[in-house]
Amino acid sequence: MTDQVEVAEGKAAGWSDWWRSGKPLVWLNALAVALSISAVAGLLALLAVRGLAHFWPAEVLAFEYLDQGVKTRVVGELIRRESPSSDGLEAASEQWLVKTGNRRVNPPDFRWYARDGIANLRTPADLVVVERREWGRAYGRLRALYEGDARVASGERVWAEIEARREQLQSLRAAAADVQSKGVDAIDHALEQLRIERRKRAFDALPPSLELVFRERELKERSAEYEQQLREIHAALNRDRLHLDTMNGERIELPLGDLIRIWRPNQMSWSEKLGHYFVGVRLFLTEGPREANTEGGVFPAIFGTSLMVLLMSVLVTPFGVLAALYLHEYARQGLLVRIVRIAVSNLAGVPSIVYGVFGLGFFVYFIGGSIDELFYAHARPAPTFGTPGLIWASFTLALLTAPVVILATEEGLARIPRSIREGSLALGATKAETLLRVIVPMASPAILTGVILAVARAAGAAAPLMLVGVVKFAPTLPIDGHFPYIHLERQFMHLGFHIYDLGFQSQNVEAARPLVFATALLLVMVILLLNSSAILLRSRLERRYRSSYQD
């Protein structure tokens, strides 16, 4: 449009001409677009940098710190520097936040140091970092490895000994997991079933049957056996103990069974660091959280989110497609259709927290409570379905995302030319046959687009979910090996809520911070991927209809 007309007054030379030409306002409008772009790009860049940096093995520093005449030796990773505040009240020195780890012997694990007091800064090659099951990271020097009471190696040779034991440790851990799942958990489950049986009989005023009592006794004996096995494996795991020297001369004793990873960042080559990085990413994606979610991975959250989204899609797709078929194929344009359209746009506009409140009141307390009263009377007052859980979260989010599917499907239906419907009807097909065999298959990419967008929306929705079934830590996954395999009443973990919980409910904010960035990056990447695939799908669809069906 801009290249069509000359500015009438000619070239703007004076200030008033310049203002009247409208150019400055165009520039301001351009600024608005540029601001939006910068915000998007800046956000993504910030997430990418902070989220990805977390897995890189940082150098471990060692220095001496002089504070009020007392000299301490410090080992740790530099987390960030902060320039002095301009208040003029504090000493104008740069402040370093150092992760010193060793939370058990020397808390806290994050400390501030003034740059001025730091002296003799080095990166000794023999410093090791240990990631362990409890107490966060440990930093120090290898001292010795003990097998029972016997010292096997000391100093530098410890490293080789640990390497040599890696496979044995792995097989022991696998054995422990095997006994736990096939033995202990299975028996716990069976005992729980018997307990419910007992309660049911008590509810009907019957004494427990003899068979029940015998089975219970047998299971308890077997459970003791398995527990004995488990104890033996753990004893083997904890037989070897690693001794570390911290910088201040304390000694950390660490059973090898607790060891997850050990590395010497200051002498790693670039390729070793890269390998370490990818192992870190893999652990993040496949492991469960530890230490009140501040360490470990997010696997349960990924699993819970996926399962909830899957259930929600199963619920929302038929409903959304049927509603769209009604709006576009069956209904005669009139007042009723207008009301339905307003209802759809309102479903999209109602705040998500309102869905959460409705879901909690209606699904959880009303429907879930009624199910409990009818089918789980023996388990009361402990609720089964009358408490937030996976199924209610799926129902709530199905309501929330219904308009997305409806609108996308309707758009797809609108793109299909009339001539195709008329052709099908003219050949003698009924309306249902036309729709089911011709129109809906043709609109299926549009339906898929809608479902993808719905899934993306549900993956990021945290507010309604915290009311209807998401928890900060779920001890069990909603799918396991016990009948009925999918436990719809269980609470689950969700990536979006995990971010909120990590960032704002955690006791150890500094320790959780890199994990929040990594989790947020993961969530944003998943959602952007879903959305861009939906956009691509839609534009391909558009092109297809433009080229082959346009009449």
8 is a contact residue toward other proteins (CB under 8 A)? yes
Residue in the structure block whose two tokens are 């077997």:
222
* CA distances for 136 relative to 240, 292, 377, 468, angstroms: 20, 11, 45, 32
What's the min distance (Å) between Cβ of 89 and other proteins? 9
The reply on whether position 436 binds other proteins by CB under 8 A is yes
Closest contact distance (angstroms) between CB of 314 and other proteins is: 15
Edge-to-edge strand ranges of the sheet holding 70-82: 110-114, 95-99, 70-82, 61-67, 118-122
Contacting residue, 159, 277, 299, 365, with other proteins by CB under 8 A: 365
Provide the mask over 197-236, with x wherever binding to other proteins is found by CB under 8 A and - wherever it is not.
Answer: ----------------------------------------
Nearer to other proteins, 500 or 545 (CB): 500
> Distance between CA atoms of 143 and 146, rounded to whole angstroms?
10
Binding to other proteins by residue 81, rule CB under 8 A? Answer: no
Q: Which is nearer to other proteins, 303 or 500 (CB)?
A: 500
CB atoms within 10 A of CB 543: 10
Determine, following the binding rule CB under 8 A, whether residue 550 of this chain makes contact with other proteins.
Answer: no
Contact 287, 369 (CB under 8 A): no
Site for other proteins in 492-511 (CB under 8 A): 496-497, 499-500, 503-504
HSE-CB of 78 using CA atoms within 13 angstroms: 17
**Number of residues engaging other proteins in binding (CB under 8 A):** 114
Q: What is the distance between the alpha carbons of residues 413 and 404, in angstroms, rounded to a whole number?
A: 14
What six digits make up the tokens of 192? 């729980």
Q: Helix-strand-coil percent breakdown of the chain, rounded to 5?
A: 60, 15, 25
Handedness of CA 469, 474, 478, 483 (dihedral sign): negative
* Shortest Cβ 436–other proteins spacing (Å): 7
3: which DSSP letter?
G
Contact 166, 174 (CB under 8 A): no
Report how far residue 517's alpha carbon sits from residue 511's, in angstroms, rounded to the nearest whole number: 11
Among 277, 326, 473, 545, the residue binding other proteins under the rule CB under 8 A is 326
Q: Return the number of the residue (49 or 174) whose C-beta is nearest other proteins.
A: 49
Closest CB to other proteins among residues 159, 362: 362
Task: Give me the count of residues in the chain.
Answer: 551
Query: Least distance (Å) from other proteins to the CB of residue 457?
Result: 7
CB of 278 to other proteins, least distance (A): 24
Contact with other proteins (CB under 8 A): which of 307, 327, 393, 541?
327
Region 386-415 residues binding other proteins, contact defined as CB under 8 A: 399, 402, 406
Question: Binder to other proteins among 36, 120, 123, 171 (CB under 8 A)?
Answer: 36
26 binds other proteins (CB under 8 A): yes
Q: At closest approach, how far in Å is the CB of 176 from other proteins?
A: 36
Residue 151 near residue 158, CB atoms below 8 Å: no
Q: With respect to other proteins, which residue has the nearer C-beta, 127 or 453? A: 453
40 near other proteins, judged by CB under 8 A:
yes
Nearby residues of 52 by Cβ (< 8 Å), 6 or more positions away? 518, 521
CB-based contact 262:163 (threshold 8 Å) = no
Residue with Cβ nearer other proteins (62 or 323): 323
Q: Check residue 341 for interaction with other proteins (CB under 8 A).
A: yes
Q: Of the candidates 47, 118, 176, 442, which one interacts with other proteins according to CB under 8 A?
A: 47
Residue ranges in 128-147 that form contacts with other proteins under rule CB under 8 A: none
Among 279, 339, 377, 486, binds other proteins (CB under 8 A): 339
Helices (H), 238-333: 270-286, 299-325
- From the list 335, 432, 547, 548, which residue makes contact with other proteins (rule: CB under 8 A)? 432
Least separation in angstroms between residue 514's CB and other proteins is 11
- Spell 126-146 as b/e; 16+ CB within 10 A means b: ebbbbbbeebbbbbbbbbbbb
Instruction: Identify the helix (H) or strand (E) that includes residue 48.
Output: helix 23-53
Residue 347 touching other proteins (CB under 8 A): yes
How far the first Cα of the chain sits from its last, in Å, is 30
Out of 53, 164, 350, 486, the residue judged to bind other proteins by CB under 8 A: 350
Distance CA 455, CA 77 (A): 39
Distance in Å, CB of 62 to other proteins, minimum: 29
Answer yes or no whether residue 438 interacts with other proteins by CB under 8 A.
no
Binding mask 301-320 for other proteins (x = CB under 8 A): ------------------xx
267/430 with CB nearer other proteins = 430
Q: Is residue 31 involved in binding other proteins (CB under 8 A)?
A: yes
Compute the C-alpha angle 417/418/419, nearest 5°.
90
Q: E-assigned strands of 376-468?
A: none
Q: Which residue matches tokens 């909690």? A: 360
| Shortest CB 39 distance to other proteins, Å | 5
- Nearer Cβ to other proteins, position 67 or 82? 82
Look-up of token digits 């056996």: 225
For the bound state, the minimum distance from the C-beta of residue 439 to other proteins, rounded and expressed in Å, comes to: 11
Token readout for 312 is: 């929600």
For residue 273, give every residue at least 6 positions away whose Cβ sits within 8 Å of its Cβ, in sequence order, or none. 56, 57, 265
From 315, 416, 447, 524, residue interacting with other proteins (rule: CB under 8 A): 524
CB of 399 to other proteins, least distance (A): 6
The CA radius of gyration of the chain, in Å to the nearest whole number, is 31
Minimum CB separation of residue 84 from other proteins in Å reads 9
Among 39, 160, 164, 177, binds other proteins (CB under 8 A): 39
